[in-house]
Structure 1
């Protein structure tokens, strides 16, 4: 089907801890250029524009990121920025966007995609996958994109949908961030896919599913936007904080209402510097000399790109160099940077948060 009548919601949120010190509270991952020549948000908006006109693209972001987000969207002709007064996780954010869209178009079809994932695909492949999702959404089901795993990643969520991994299948369940042994078993199993967090639904069916599975979230969001174009911050703070996976997708899958569409494009949620290492551009290593040092990872902010780095005798070391802070760690600790960032706050180094 044609995607030109669909709306696309791009979720632009985050606390800026997982890729510290490049990411900060005022510069979360979606505002970073991780080697593609533009911020992840800009890349996500360009993909959205492959599906629908600018006036049907909406960005959901937090108040602290509103100015940066609006500026990037404006450059692409996108004017709809929906601002959350405070972070309540993805279920309230998507409920907010869907409610706003449905007020003017109750039958709207909606694609939702994160702003901070790395996706490499040609336009035809991308549009074809989204079109298949929208056909499923038109029937009243919730649709999502699953990616064939390439390794047993414990930082990703998994979709279990036994059957062909090449055609849409009804989802049996979602499993969030399994341990290593479980992730390895998923890699060998039929119909186990990574959860890309790319979804589609019709506005009216979304509301119906929320009424069934997450009525408190729906009621809270509707109460917070009782006035058009205004989200009351006090009422919003009372909305349950919960991810869309737990609030809606998991119970809806149990009820047989979720269909996964296999995504054949290259996808990654760069949640750690270790994950970024496999995708870092060649230019990231041009100033690195590693001797007797296997698996070295280097990220240098453009502000310090003139510096050169020599690593000798240390395997799996990770160096992230920015204009005001340098991170030195190893691959084994990359997934736990929140602990380090918490200690930085305890020291009173608030300028680095």
Structure 2
């Protein structure tokens, strides 16, 4: 497609604690290669470059990961890296990026995509979906990409949009990550899609919607940008910390201003080791032997490639070996690793964070 007027914002934030010990403070999920052949951020930038020119691709990241992010982006010809002084969640990050883009190009249309998702599709299908989203954005609505649910997954948020199989459809509501019974009901109903967190809007429409639905976020970001060419870290720290879902998408959908576009390709947010295992068939790892251990999987860092593993008599076990730490957990508990990670410092193992 490569539409020069379109801008793509790649959000490279978050710590990914549910993928510990592979993800750390200095090596978050978006910088990891989880079996796809390259870091997730690099894949996200490549997808962005299939849509527009390198000077219209912008990566938003935190101060602690700026150097790594900038180096990876530069290898792909992308030089626009927007650095947040501190993490304030997605609404301030996207507001910041949108204001900066609008300053140079007031009529810009923007696609926002997370840096840490896995998408497998050909360029034509990806670009066709993005073209539809951009058309919605040019019409003044916010576009969200929904993925047809294939299982009752409790790790994803959902978009309710009856009739979305027939084309772009007004969103009825957004739903938080459900329990299993609710997720099964969503799947049976047939009018719920996984929320991919990939969105599109016009710069002007976004800022107008933020002024209506999240004025304190908008004014806070503007204040942080008003001091100089740099983002004022003290003012930035006062910006409300809130996700764009709560700040803008949910109230805008209630007002009839959000449209969902179906993305008919393989998509996964590796938010947990269980999700990673489901996607990669990790039980086929060449250095893992299982006996009476159905559903047990292994992720081993290349640095320990010579090590061999056996699992015997344990079902649905996940083993993660990063050389300096080994995690052994069940698939059921892999979604709750934040509880484990929160205790590591208390145990005197803060170097593993």
Runs (4+) of structure 1 exceeding 4 A deviation are 281-284
TM alignment of 1:174-193, pairs within 5 A: 174-193=174-193
How many Å apart are 1:282 and its aligned residue? 6.2
Query: Quick check: 1:166–1:262 contact (8 Å CA) kept in 2?
Result: no
Structure 2 counterparts to residues 304-319 of structure 1, below 5 A: 304-319=304-319
TM-score, normalised relative to structure 2: 0.98
1:144 aligns with 2:144: yes
Instruction: State the partner residue of 2:255.
Output: 255
The DSSP-based 3-state class of the residue aligned with 1:303 is helix
Whether the 8 Å contact between 2:143 and 2:260 is mirrored in structure 1 is: yes
Report the equivalent of 2:39: 39
TM-score, normalised to structure 1's length?
Answer: 0.98
1:2 and 1:113 map into 2 onto residues whose CA distance is: 16
Distance 1:77 1:35 in 2: 24
Change (3 A) 1:93 1:345: same
How much does 1:285 deviate? 1.0
Cα distance in 2 between the residues matched to 1:209 and 1:221:
15
Give the root-mean-square deviation of aligned CA atoms.
1.3
Q: 1:78 maps to what in 2?
A: 78
**Larger displacement relative to structure 2 (121-130 or 157-166):** 157-166
Q: Distance in 1 between matches of 2:229 and 2:115?
A: 22
> Aligned partners of 2:332 and 2:283: how far apart in 1?
24
Cα distance in 2 for partners of 1:12, 1:233 equals 19
In the alignment, is the contact (CA less than 8 A) between 1:164 and 1:190 conserved in 2?
Answer: no
| Contact residue 16 and residue 27 of structure 1 kept, 8 A | no
Could you list the runs of 5+ residues in structure 1 that have no partner in the other structure? none
Map of 1:273 onto structure 2: 273
Residue 293 of structure 2: SS of its match in structure 1? coil
Deviation, 1:191, is: 2.0
Secondary structure in 2 matching 1:225: helix
Q: Is the 1:92–1:221 contact (alpha carbons within 8 Å) kept by the matching residues of 2?
A: yes
- Asked if 2 retains the 8 angstrom alpha-carbon contact of 1:2 and 1:131, the reply is no
Unaligned runs of 5+ in 2: none
What's the offset of the Cα at 1:284? 5.8
Q: Distance in 2 between matches of 1:288 and 1:230?
A: 50
Secondary structure of the structure 2 residue equivalent to 1:327? strand
> Partner residue of 2:117?
117
**In 2, Cα distance between equivalents of 1:173 and 1:188:** 17
- Alpha-carbon distance between aligned partners in 2 of 1:45 and 1:173, rounded to the nearest angstrom: 30
1:41–1:115: 8 Å Cα contact kept in structure 2?
yes
Output aligned runs, 1:54-69, within 5 Å: 54-69=54-69
Contact 2:282 2:297 in 1 (8 A): no
Looking at structure 2, the residues matched to 145 and 287 of structure 1 have their Cα atoms a distance apart, in angstroms, of 38
Q: Which residue of 2 aligns with 1:333?
A: 333
* CA–CA separation in structure 2 for the residues paired with 1:85 and 1:2: 31
Evaluate the alpha carbon distance shift between residue 147 and residue 325 of structure 1 in structure 2; reply closer, same or farther with a 3 A threshold: same
Q: Aligned residue for 1:299?
A: 299
Aligned counterpart, 1:347: 347
Q: How far, CA to CA, are the matches of 1:177 and 1:69 in structure 2?
A: 29
